[in-house]
Amino acid sequence: MNVAILRLKKLKRANVAGSSAHVMREISTPNADPQRSRFNQILKGRGKTPAQQILSLVSKISDQRSLSGKKRLRSDAVWAVEFVMTVEQSHWRGKDGGYVKDWAKRSLSFLNSKYGEARIVSAVLHLDETSPHIHAYMVPVSKDSDGIHTLSAKRFFDGRGKLAKLQDEYAEFMSSFDSSLQRGLKKSRARHSELRTWYSRLPTEIKREEIRLPSFRVRCPPPAITQTARRAWADEETARLRKALLSSLHRLIQARREALFVAQQFQLRYQTELQRTKAFRDIRLDPNGLRKWVLEYDQYLAQLSTLRGVAEHFEQLYVETIDELDEMETLNSRYGRVIEVMCHRLDISLEDLEYRLDRSETKSRIFAQLEEMVVVDADGLKND
């Protein structure tokens, strides 16, 4: 499943510089390959960093409001919105540089057409991480009731409805470029893990880069030392350096082991959420619908179990009934033979026998004869 990913983050004044430094690789970025950072491309806003571009536009808006006698911009106003656009990692396998370039151009075109080129002040394509992605900055310029420019992120991104619509529009726009690109599952439980969350779980030595080799500067031997003492001093100095080196090596191995464990946990969580999202898409149900379906399915299983128990009970009753019918048929056959013998001895027909049984004065006499015939052994019945 090739999901067209578009995330956004609101940046206030205090957050702009840090985000810009990260995008321009002005600060250390452990998850980026320094050897490939030179391949990163500035798609929009050449000559200035994103922070400089944002500050320039915000300053113009602030000056315009001052000249118009309007209130200054709020101190907690959103200065910019940072977009991150990419596709899941498996999609990029086998894709050449031309495809990546066309994808980046198409993605930036979406932002320009939706928010206006004047609001999109900077865009950078990163190629030094695991997946190509774009960082784009949009300044939420709007107009107040008097027609004076101001900053209003709520106008563009207030409410889940607008954010969901943004995902729909981006996926539809990119599908015309590559039909395999799809929208992510609505109401998915998958969440993006912030980079700082990853750093917070790493060992302290790795986060602060405190693992360094010990100083290998050999201390000078004491003056006026004998040859024997010099040899002993050299052995002691060698042992000191070896001990310091082994200590740093053990710390490095332990920190690496812990970092790998954290990475495996993140990978397992990612795979779990990915498979869950794929399952939601395959059955075409949102999480709430799936949860309701599972509850109903459990109820059906309970009912089925009860019906199976009832069916087994009726099956046993059926077997017992069949056995009883077999016995009744056997008895009916035997008593049928007895009645035939009785009619023969009385020299009457079966209809006459039924007539006589209906009459009370002859019923006792006939039953007495019937009892005498019933006690006859089987051989006697056969001979009769």
Give me the sign of the Cα torsion angle 316, 322, 325, 331.
Answer: negative
Is the pLDDT assigned to residue 274 strictly greater than 80? no
Tell me what percent of the residues of the chain surpass a pLDDT of 70: 76
| Distance from C-alpha of 361 to C-alpha of 382, rounded to nearest angstrom | 31
Q: Which residue has the higher pLDDT, 190 or 165?
A: 165
Is the pLDDT assigned to residue 372 strictly greater than 90? no
Residues 164 and 80 in one domain: yes
Q: Is residue 124 part of a domain?
A: yes
Q: Given this model, what pLDDT does residue 329 score?
A: 76
Is the pLDDT assigned to residue 282 strictly greater than 70? no
| CATH code where residue 37 lies | 3.30.930.30
Q: Given this model, what pLDDT does residue 101 score?
A: 93
Is the pLDDT assigned to residue 345 strictly greater than 50? yes
Most confident of 70-74, 259-263, 339-343: 70-74
| Distance from C-alpha of 280 to C-alpha of 186, rounded to nearest angstrom | 9
Radius of gyration for the alpha carbons in the chain, expressed in angstroms and rounded: 45
**190 and 273 Cβ atoms separated by less than 8 Å:** yes
Q: Is residue 344 part of a domain?
A: yes
Residues 217 and 364 in one domain: no
377 pLDDT tier (thresholds 50, 70, 90): very low
| Distance from C-alpha of 9 to C-alpha of 138, rounded to nearest angstrom | 10
Q: Is residue 51 part of a domain?
A: yes
pLDDT, tens only, 9-42: 999 998 999 999 999 998 878 778 888 889 999 9
DSSP letters along 114-153, please?
Answer: HH-TTTEEEEEEE-SSSS-EEEEEE--EEE-TTS-EEE-S
Q: Which residue has the higher pLDDT, 184 or 7?
A: 7
| Distance from C-alpha of 284 to C-alpha of 46, rounded to nearest angstrom | 44
110: how many CB neighbours lie within 10 A of its CB?
A: 21
Is the pLDDT assigned to residue 374 strictly greater than 70? no
Residues 117 and 7 in one domain: yes
Tokens of 362: 């002859």
Mean pLDDT of the chain: 78
Residues 27 and 108 in one domain: yes
Averaged pLDDT for residues 175-202: 65
> Do the bridges between strand 78-87 and strand 120-126 make them parallel or antiparallel, or are there none, so unpaired?
unpaired
17: how many CB neighbours lie within 10 A of its CB?
A: 17
**244 and 235 Cβ atoms separated by less than 8 Å:** no
Q: Given this model, what pLDDT does residue 234 score?
A: 82
DSSP letters along 20-43, please?
Answer: HHHHTT-S--TTS-GGGGGG-EEE
Nearest by Cα to 108 from 121, 99, 98, 97: 121
Averaged pLDDT for residues 187-200: 54
Q: Is residue 75 part of a domain?
A: yes
362 pLDDT tier (thresholds 50, 70, 90): low
Averaged pLDDT for residues 185-201: 55
Q: Given this model, what pLDDT does residue 378 score?
A: 44
Tell me what percent of the residues of the chain surpass a pLDDT of 90: 23
pLDDT, tens only, 124-133: 999 998 889 9
Q: Is residue 154 part of a domain?
A: yes
Q: Is residue 296 part of a domain?
A: no
Is the pLDDT assigned to residue 70 strictly greater than 60? yes
**166 and 172 Cβ atoms separated by less than 8 Å:** no
Residues 62 and 153 in one domain: yes
Picking from 251, 283, 315, the residue at the C-terminal end of a domain is: 283
Is the pLDDT assigned to residue 380 strictly greater than 60? no
The residue whose two tokens read 């999609």 is 91
Residues 42 and 90 in one domain: yes
| Distance from C-alpha of 347 to C-alpha of 345, rounded to nearest angstrom | 5
Is the pLDDT assigned to residue 384 strictly greater than 50? no
DSSP letters along 357-384, please?
Answer: HHSHHHHHHHHHHHHHHHTS-HHHHHH-
Is the pLDDT assigned to residue 142 strictly greater than 80? yes
CA dihedral 175, 181, 183, 185 (to 10 degrees): 160
Give me the sign of the Cα torsion angle 163, 165, 170, 171.
Answer: positive
Is the pLDDT assigned to residue 208 strictly greater than 50? no
Q: Given this model, what pLDDT does residue 185 score?
A: 64
Domains of the chain: total: 3
Domain that holds residue 361: 306-383
| Distance from C-alpha of 82 to C-alpha of 19, rounded to nearest angstrom | 9
382 pLDDT tier (thresholds 50, 70, 90): very low
Residues 14 and 91 in one domain: yes
Q: Is residue 189 part of a domain?
A: no
Is the pLDDT assigned to residue 283 strictly greater than 70? no
Distance of CA 381 to the CA centre of its chain: 83
Residues 37 and 168 in one domain: yes
The pTM of this model reads 0.54
Q: Given this model, what pLDDT does residue 151 score?
A: 92
Tokens of 199: 């750093």
Q: Is residue 298 part of a domain?
A: no
